Amino acid sequence: MRRAKILILAAVRRPTENVSKSEGVGMNNGRRLKPALGMTVLALLTAGAILAAGCGSDGTATGSTAAADTTVSAGAAASGPLYPVLVGSKKAFGYVDKSGAMVIEPTFTSATPFKDGVALVTMNGASGAMYGYIRTDGTWLIEPNFYAGTVFSDGWALVQTFDGKYQYIDVNDAKLGDPSDAYSAPFSEGLAPIKVDGKYGYMDTKGKTVIDPKFAEAGSFSQGLAAVASDVDGVTKYGYIDTKGGWVVEPQYEGAGRYSDGLAPVMVNGKWGYIDTKGTMVIQPQFDLVEPFAEGLASVQSAGKFGFVDTKGQWAMGPQFYWAYGFSEGLAVIEQQVDGVERYGFVDKTGQVVIEPKFADAHAFKDGLAGVQVVTGDTAVWALIDPTGKVVWQDK
């Protein structure tokens, strides 16, 4: 299954849209979706956060109040990074170490990479997935008791209970406030969007509302600023606020994304450019699609092809790829048409294709390895490769 081509944040994506999970070692799934700014809770809980071996017919997570079989194999805590992998014969996820050795046996129906020693996983209940959190030795930190969940951020995870309410929990399963429909996204830089009476504001990690709900849409904070939407003469426009709620960049754009490397993508007259943290247009609007900057370069689309620009707007790699994704650990996933079939490979910052597009799917390098789908005859199996393209682990 394909990962969603969600490039930047521009308009609220509703839970009824194709927000989906992948069936592999870490790709979002689905068609190219309209970019989204204020992702709703269900979108955030299911899009790109978790790798699923099984999901609902529309690709979204499903759950059940029935108890899950929570038996897992415990072992010694890992001393290095662990990687979630799908073992096809068992239709379950486990974790391998950097050598490819299985450290946590495949027992989960979905899994995320570890972050600060904790991973979000699911186990099957009677009719669906139940979300919980494990340690690096495979034991439960928090039992799978939730309909949906996010990874921990700023010490808190956002979960959905089976009665439809949302709740922030810490690693000790302590709750922040009461379950509510107001919670709308994980914490970022100490603040999280909340929705009250149809308007968005922000709360801090003590549960206090610090920015009153008054915005039509609200994104997460990045580099001290958050993209929000407000009504301007009857038209929804996007701008940026600081952590006090004051306008830093007045609402004037048709779309807006998060800041990274000191720049944020904005849309003017249907084209995307980039502004700095003071609102100065650094790269003029000229692109059809863009990603936020990563490691000094941004993937942008021009004339139907993707390339990479630097923070001054100069082409580092001219438009030449069918699709291109952000850099991670010095390499970026690219997509090309090979004999009429979409294939994935990797390019470095000099523009050299270091791993040829030959995979049915691929995702970014993390902790020295990347998940790819290796084509074997008429099928494709998931594998982990190193930056030279050497296979470290491959499903049988």
Say which amino acid occupies 354. Answer: V
Higher-scoring residue by pLDDT: 382, 27: 382
| Residue 1: predicted pLDDT | 32
In a domain, 306, yes or no: yes
In a domain, 288, yes or no: no
Q: Confidence class of residue 377 from pLDDT cuts 50, 70 and 90? A: confident
First to last CA, the chain: 18
pLDDT at 60 over 90: no
Between CA 44 and CA 214 the distance in angstroms is 21
| Residue 5: predicted pLDDT | 33
Say which amino acid occupies 7. Answer: L
In a domain, 140, yes or no: no
Mean per-residue pLDDT, 111-120? 97
| Residue written as token pair 């942008």 | 300
Q: List, for residues 281-325, the tens digit of each pLDDT value.
A: 999 999 999 999 999 999 999 999 999 999 999 999 999 999 999
Q: Confidence class of residue 378 from pLDDT cuts 50, 70 and 90? A: confident
| Residue 214: predicted pLDDT | 97
Higher-scoring residue by pLDDT: 201, 64: 201
Mean per-residue pLDDT, 120-137? 91
β-strands 315-321, 129-134: how paired? unpaired
Q: List, for residues 186-240, the tens digit of each pLDDT value.
A: 999 999 999 999 999 999 999 999 999 999 999 999 999 999 999 999 999 999 9
| Residue 151: predicted pLDDT | 97
DSSP string of 219-283, one letter each residue = ---BTTBEEEEEEETTEEEEEEE-TTS-EEEEEEESEE---BTTEEEEEETTEEEEEETT--EEE
In a domain, 389, yes or no: yes
| Residue 373: predicted pLDDT | 97
Higher-scoring residue by pLDDT: 4, 164: 164
In a domain, 327, yes or no: yes
| Residue 78: predicted pLDDT | 66
β-strands 271-276, 255-256: how paired? unpaired
Say which amino acid occupies 306. Answer: F
> Would you say the C-alpha torsion 237, 242, 248, 249 has a positive or negative sign?
negative
Q: List, for residues 66-90, the tens digit of each pLDDT value.
A: 445 555 555 566 679 999 999 999 9
Q: What percent of the chain has pLDDT over 90?
A: 76
In a domain, 63, yes or no: no
In a domain, 322, yes or no: yes
Domain that holds residue 369: 294-396
| Residue 71: predicted pLDDT | 55
Query: For the chain, what is the domain count?
Result: 1
112-116, 334-338, 354-358, 378-382: lowest mean pLDDT where? Answer: 378-382
Q: Confidence class of residue 52 from pLDDT cuts 50, 70 and 90? A: very low
Between CA 229 and CA 94 the distance in angstroms is 41
Q: Which residues pair with 370 in a beta bridge?
A: 385
* Backbone φ, ψ for residue 41 (5° rounding): -60, -45
In a domain, 356, yes or no: yes
